[in-house]
């Protein structure tokens, strides 16, 4: 026996001699619940009971004391769904109390005591008014996920800090649709914070496998290391296989394409796995499959990562709480009345596979420990077409699926969150309201208070919108009525929301699918990578989706890789990109000290666009003009028609449009623009100068009621104050003390 073995044996012997009695330790996911129930028990002891609140659970509370605690919670607990706390919350708190007692003094309540408490909780709804309500369990079926993917690529105007965030959301949609994984099994669980655990690159293996009478196809095998109740146990880990989608109508939901884009952007594969290798699909004649290994340096890096400024963090995983907020806002932008959460997709998966797999397979797919748990995931609606059943007719499964899903209450014309949306014009919040709120929240900054007010206004606007629909009071907002509504408390709106949505909605079966807005189509001229993705997955042809074009896998993944690169995303004009650092790509000089000291990038923005126009003039093709509205080269014989199209655009937005600090559309004055080519009008590149110019027009009509001069408005007479609000809301030009550009 070696010396090291002898020392190790001596160490164990010392531990055995000095070891204290074994004490249970709570799991990571139990810690927060135990802390919460301990704090509530301390408050109960201080306010009601004669027990010492400084040392909770020194002895096991008896049934009588627990009953008093539950009755106290009904009266004092903070309710979220109703006036009083719910019986389901009381049941969960009793479970947490049992855990706290178990880990504190190793005491377990027997079955009779648990039954008595459970019966008492039910009686509290009759005797003390405990609520019996439950949260609405939203269900997102596969068709809903397809709608979300389409909206994310083709319609979502939110200016994410990095375009990879949108791709990661789509990847989460696809994983949830095909696997039904819990959010904490894909990203960092809220019960295991700061562990940086989720799906890492070492958990995903790329294979190329043979197919009968067809070309080899890629496949990814996802190892689920962080299953609930199995985390850290390698013997109980599962693997899920997801194959490459080759049919054109399904490629937008291909998990292999997105994983390839992330892995290639992060340089996760060995150097020999190049572009040519992707399309080559080489497989040995004697092999049934081939594996493409991940580099060792990248294996512990998460696939779905958090943002870090305008880049993607090199190692930090996205948290479940951050994912939850992204999904809630995404669902609101999609127009879903019911909340879109992480578990909406898991419930949709459970409803989709119910009846299609045996009980053991179903339990394995869902990651449950018993067969009864899946019942809580099924829709609360009866999943049988009783009318057809009693008449001996086939079941209308399409209608049943539609009525239980979140698409049933979707309204694509509902108000959307205004943060970083195209055409956003934040109206000035009254100083009195800010001062009153700062008294209630003295430690919060003025900007956070503004965000709080805008969020509250949006929630009120959204709630009022759906209430009006139920009451049949909804009319197309326009003219003075629209401005009066905004003055009544809604502080933000988007110009393209005010227009009729009839032409922007496609009716597919029972589902509504919005089309891209006019402002979004302007952005796509500069967002070339996203446009390439849309043309590959959902080609836009006169506003109607056409059949996807046939591209090789490498060609289809190329724009996704550019969007997924973790470095800061750099926008560009059609012909030249901006130089690295703070240098201008179009300027003769190498640097500009004034631009370096510009924290808001405003001067840099105007400097770049002016230099680009000068560069474009010098390099314009013969017999071509440079269009100042879209920065494109137009043949002189087509310039009249091209300019006429800009004048008669259906979008009423006239403000300066900024995309990622790049000026992509100059502003225009509603008083000066005319639909006729014979009347010229100025383009504006400075928001303050445009606001000053419009104010001079408004000053001339002060004291009168005049219609909006823009040719696309309805011509209702407005006072000077309402005209000012109308120009801000409908035409997207801020006329407040601080005129700003609309940013996306």
Q: What is the per-residue pLDDT across 62-72, written as a single tens digit (0 to 9) for each?
A: 899 899 999 99
Q: Which of 278, 416, 410, 406 is nearest to 351 (CA)?
A: 406
- The residue ranges of every structural domain in the chain are 28-127, 142-408, 417-550, 593-743
Q: Who wins on pLDDT, 587 or 591?
A: 587
Place of tokens 């012909």: 575
Structure tokens at 371: 């067969």
pLDDT of 546 higher than 50: no
Percent of the chain topping pLDDT 90: 26
- pLDDT of res. 672: 83
Q: In this predicted structure, which of 2-6, 46-50, 225-229, 594-598 has the lowest mean pLDDT?
A: 594-598
Query: How do residues 338-387 score in pLDDT, each as one tens digit?
Result: 999 999 999 989 888 887 888 888 888 888 877 777 777 777 777 788 88
At 112, is the secondary structure helix, strand, or coil? helix
Q: How far is CA 610 from the centre of its chain?
A: 35
373 DSSP 8-state letter: G
Decide if 655 contacts 667 (C-beta within 8 A).
yes
Task: Note whether 83 and 131 are within 8 A (CB).
Answer: yes
**How much is the pLDDT for 544?**
39
CA angle 740, 743, 744 (to 5 degrees): 170
pLDDT above 80: residue 683: no
- DSSP state letter for 304: S
Residue carrying structure tokens 């943060």 = 419
- Most confident range (mean pLDDT) of 538-542, 596-600, 657-661 is 657-661
Distances, alpha carbon 597 to alpha carbons 592, 593, 670, in Å:
9, 7, 34
At residue 511, the pLDDT reads 66
The H or E element containing residue 471 is helix 446-471
H-state helical runs in 493-635 = 495-498, 518-524, 528-537, 553-564, 593-596, 602-619
Q: Is the predicted pLDDT of residue 412 greater than 90, yes or no?
A: no
Q: What is the pLDDT of residue 362?
A: 82
Mean pLDDT of the chain: 80
pLDDT tens-digit series, residues 172-184: 999 999 998 999 9
CATH (residue range 142-408) = 1.10.443
At 704, list the tokens.
């009168």
DSSP-assigned letters across all residues of 254-296 = -HHHHHHHHHHHTT-B-TT--HHHHHH----TT-SEEEEPBPG
Q: In the chain, how long is the greatest CA-to-CA distance? A: 103
Among candidates 140, 600, 207, which has minimal Cα distance to 345? 140
Q: Does residue 304 contact residue 171 with C-beta atoms inside 8 Å? A: yes
Rounded mean pLDDT, 666-693: 76
Read off the pLDDT band of 650 (50, 70, 90).
low
Residues 6+ apart with CB under 8 A from 384: 395, 400
What pTM value is reported for the model? 0.85
Residue 426 has pLDDT above 80, yes or no: no
In the predicted model, is pLDDT for residue 499 greater than 60? Answer: no
Structural Rg of the chain based on CA atoms: 30
Residue 481, pLDDT above cutoff 50: no
């Amino acid at each position: 026996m070696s010396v090291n073995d002898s020392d190790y044996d001596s160490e164990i012997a010392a531990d055995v001699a000095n070891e204290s009695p074994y004490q249970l330790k709570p799991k990571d996911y139990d810690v927060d619940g135990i802390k919460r129930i301990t704090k509530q028990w301390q408050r109960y002891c201080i306010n009601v009971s004669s027990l010492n609140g400084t040392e909770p659970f020194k002895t096991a509370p008896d049934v009588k004391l627990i009953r008093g605690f539950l009755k106290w919670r009904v009266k004092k607990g903070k309710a979220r769904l109703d006036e009083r706390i719910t019986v389901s919350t009381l049941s969960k708190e009793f479970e947490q109390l049992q855990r706290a007692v178990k880990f504190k003094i190793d005491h377990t309540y027997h079955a009779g005591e648990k039954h008595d408490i459970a019966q008492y909780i039910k009686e509290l709804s009759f005797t003390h008014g405990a609520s019996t309500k439950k949260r609405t369990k939203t269900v997102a079926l596969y068709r809903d996920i397809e709608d979300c993917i389409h909206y994310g690529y083709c319609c979502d105007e939110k200016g994410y800090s990095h375009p990879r965030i949108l791709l990661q959301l789509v990847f989460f949609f696809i994983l949830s649709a095909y696997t039904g994984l819990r959010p904490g099994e894909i990203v960092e669980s809220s019960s295991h914070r700061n562990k940086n655990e989720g799906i890492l690159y070492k958990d995903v293996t790329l294979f190329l496998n043979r197919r009968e009478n067809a070309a080899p196809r890629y496949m990814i095998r996802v190892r689920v290391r962080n299953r609930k109740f199995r985390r850290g146990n390698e013997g109980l880990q599962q693997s899920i296989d997801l194959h490459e989608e080759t049919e054109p109508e399904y490629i937008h939901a291909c998990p292999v394409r997105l994983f390839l884009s992330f892995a290639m952007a992060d340089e996760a594969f060995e150097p020999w796995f190049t572009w040519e290798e992707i399309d080559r699909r080489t497989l040995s004649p004697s092999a049934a499959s081939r594996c493409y290994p991940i580099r060792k340096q990248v294996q512990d890096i998460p696939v779905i990562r958090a943002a870090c400024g305008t880049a993607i963090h090199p190692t930090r995983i996205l948290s479940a709480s951050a994912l939850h907020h992204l999904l809630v806002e995404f669902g609101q932008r999609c127009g879903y009345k019911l909340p879109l959460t992480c578990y909406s997709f898991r419930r949709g998966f459970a409803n989709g596979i119910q009846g299609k797999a045996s009980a053991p397979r179903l339990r394995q797919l869902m990651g449950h420990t018993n067969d009864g748990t899946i019942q809580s995931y099924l829709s609360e609606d009866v999943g049988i077409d009783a009318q057809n059943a009693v008449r001996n007719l086939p079941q209308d499964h399409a209608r049943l699926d539609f009525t239980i899903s979140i698409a049933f209450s979707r309204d694509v014309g509902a108000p959307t969150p205004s943060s970083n949306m195209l055409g956003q014009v934040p109206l000035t919040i009254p100083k009195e309201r800010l001062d009153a709120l700062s008294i209630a929240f003295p430690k919060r900054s003025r900007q956070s208070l503004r965000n709080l007010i805008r969020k509250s206004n949006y929630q009120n606007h959204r709630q009022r919108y759906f209430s009006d629909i139920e009451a049949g009071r909804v009319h197309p907002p326009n003219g003075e009525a629209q401005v009066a509504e905004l003055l009544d408390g809604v502080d933000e709106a988007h110009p393209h929301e005010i227009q009729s949505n009839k032409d922007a909605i496609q009716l597919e079966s029972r589902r509504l699918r919005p089309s891209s807005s006019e402002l979004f189509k302007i952005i796509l001229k500069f967002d070339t990578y996203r446009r390439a993705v849309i043309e590959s997955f959902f080609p836009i042809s006169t506003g109607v989706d056409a059949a996807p074009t046939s591209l090789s896998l490498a060609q289809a993944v190329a724009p996704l890789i550019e969007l997924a690169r973790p470095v800061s995303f750099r926008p560009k004009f059609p012909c030249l990109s901006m130089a690295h650092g703070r240098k201008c790509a179009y300027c003769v000089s190498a640097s500009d000290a004034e631009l370096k000291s510009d924290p808001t990038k405003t001067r840099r923005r105007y400097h770049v666009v002016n230099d680009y126009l000068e560069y474009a003039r010098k390099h314009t093709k013969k017999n071509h003009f440079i269009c100042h509205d879209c920065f494109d080269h137009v043949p002189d014989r087509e310039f009249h028609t091209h300019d006429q199209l800009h004048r008669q655009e259906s979008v009423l937005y006239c403000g300066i449009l900024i995309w990622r600090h790049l000026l992509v559309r100059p502003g225009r004055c509603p008083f000066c623009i005319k639909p006729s080519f014979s009347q010229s009008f100025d383009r504006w590149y400075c928001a303050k100068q445009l606001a000053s110019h419009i104010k001079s027009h408004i000053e001339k009509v002060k004291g009168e009621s005049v219609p909006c001069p823009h040719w696309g408005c309805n011509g209702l007479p407005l006072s000077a104050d309402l005209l000012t609000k109308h120009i801000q809301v409908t035409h997207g030009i801020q006329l407040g003390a601080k005129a700003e550009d609309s940013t996306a």
